[in-house]
Amino acid sequence: MKEKLSAFWAKICKALRPYKKNVIIPLLKIIGIIILCAVLVRVMNGHETLAEYAAKNPETAYHTVSSNEP
């Protein structure tokens, strides 16, 4: 079973080798940037949800502009 998996993995690697430089590596970089940004936003936001923000700041969260206001 292990030999079959190794052979299968080798075939996949061989098939993807031409795409490694132009497709796979840039795609992995983009995915890494997205993950990094998501982690930074999560850390900077302090794990606050929209409901928690609305509870803390009701005047900002529920402020509506009427058509008579400039």
Distance CA 48, CA 28 (A): 29
Distance CA 32, CA 35 (A): 5
pLDDT at 60 over 70: yes
Q: What is the pLDDT of residue 64?
A: 72
Distance CA 39, CA 35 (A): 6
Helices (H) and strands (E) in the chain, counts: 4, 0
Under DSSP, the state recorded for 53 is H
Domain ranges of the chain: 36-60
Q: What is the pLDDT of residues 25-59, one digit of tens each?
A: 999 999 999 999 999 988 887 777 888 888 988 88
Calculate the average pLDDT of the chain: 86
